Amino acid sequence: MRWKILLLIAVAFVAAFWFVTRPQSLAPADLATGVPDLDNGAVVFHAGGCAACHGEDLAGGLEMTTPFGTFNVPNISPDPDTGIGAWSELDFANAMLLGVSPEGKHYYPAFPYPSYTRMDMHDLHDLKAYLDRREPLAKEAPGHDLSFPFNIRRGIGFWKQRYVTAAPIVADEQLPPNALRGRYLAEALGHCGECHTPRDRFGGPDYRRWLAGGPNPDGEGRVPNITPHESGLAGWSENDIAYYLESGFTPEFDTVGGSMVKVQENFARLSDQDRQAVAAYLKAVAAHAGEH
């Protein structure tokens, strides 16, 4: 009798795990409609840094080495077989906002959907249309090479519940009006926190130290603190930050380096107003001491 009770407990545990970690999905009614704005789609594309990881041709291939294993960046060109050309808009929205594949599987958060989940649905609509008009390129990306237990995708469902939120990180009342657009660009599209926020042992962002810097995803050195702390951007004015995003020059006339080069090049394509909004946001967030 005892073994039957234990078996029932085990079955109940597995069923509960399967239910709680199930991938979620949007409904067709959640999607934006109307004629897409391709010019805005281009702005979203550059602000989101799509080409920085997926390549200028969007065919992927970049290897990302992490403590959990190696992630291989996929093809997001409109090729129907090896890219996302066969994806519906619902497939695209589920991937970007919920981190769920068209096959109903969790994506690993090396894909920055924890930030993209804050995207406006109309921007998503415009971005999909923009990507659909890029040149398709047939190139199959290799699969990820992850160690156990990180190769079990179902567990990502727990990770999402703990770390993924569509709510803004910095509340409205903490920001001046001119920083609200900057919050959207930094927290959602630009996904600044993915690199500039420290992470815990499970790879989740430590929101208590938002933008305080952390280990370099490229494997060498650290990503800097970009809060208005003395160890961060306290000595930079809003104009300094905006000019850096436009030109790549710091107030000390040093130049941007590392993986930030492509980020800065993308932000240089945005409007002066957008760069100023990001600068206003970064000067308004809570100051945190960075680690050295």
The answer to whether residue 87 scores a pLDDT higher than 80 is yes
- In eight-state DSSP terms, residue 94 is I
What SS3 class is residue 44? helix
- Domain coordinates of the chain in residue numbers? 26-163, 172-284
Q: Domain 26-163, what fold?
A: Cytochrome Bc1 Complex; Chain D, domain 2 (1.10.760)
pLDDT (tens digit per residue) in 137-179? 999 887 877 777 776 777 888 889 999 999 999 999 999 999 9
How many CB atoms within 10 Å of residue 29?
6
> Each residue of 171-209: pLDDT tens digit?
999 999 999 999 999 999 999 999 999 988 888 899 999
Range with the poorest average pLDDT among 98-107, 120-129, 169-178, 194-203: 194-203
Is there a common fold for 26-163 and 172-284? Answer: yes
Interval 265-273 mean pLDDT: 96
Residue 39 has pLDDT above 90, yes or no: yes
Decide: pTM greater than 0.85.
yes
Is the confidence at residue 14, as pLDDT, over 60? no
- Given the structure tokens 């993986």, which residue do they identify? 259
Nearest CA-CA partner of 288 in 235, 225, 240: 225
State the pLDDT at residue 143.
Answer: 80
Question: What are the Cα distances from residue 76, in Å, to 103, 128, 139?
Answer: 16, 11, 10
Structure-token pair, residue 265: 């090049």
Sort 143 into a burial class: Cβ within 10 Å, 0-12 / 13-18 / 19+: exposed
At residue 13, the pLDDT reads 45
DSSP β-ladder status, 69-72 and 214-215: unpaired
Q: For residue 33, with 0-12 CB atoms within 10 Å meaning exposed, 13-18 middle and 19 or more buried, which class applies?
A: exposed
Please provide the distance, in angstroms rounded to a whole number, between the alpha carbons at the two ends of the chain.
58
Q: What fold does the segment set 172-284 form as a domain?
A: Cytochrome Bc1 Complex; Chain D, domain 2 (1.10.760)
Q: Is 53 buried (19+), middle (13-18) or exposed (0-12) by CB count in 10 A? A: buried
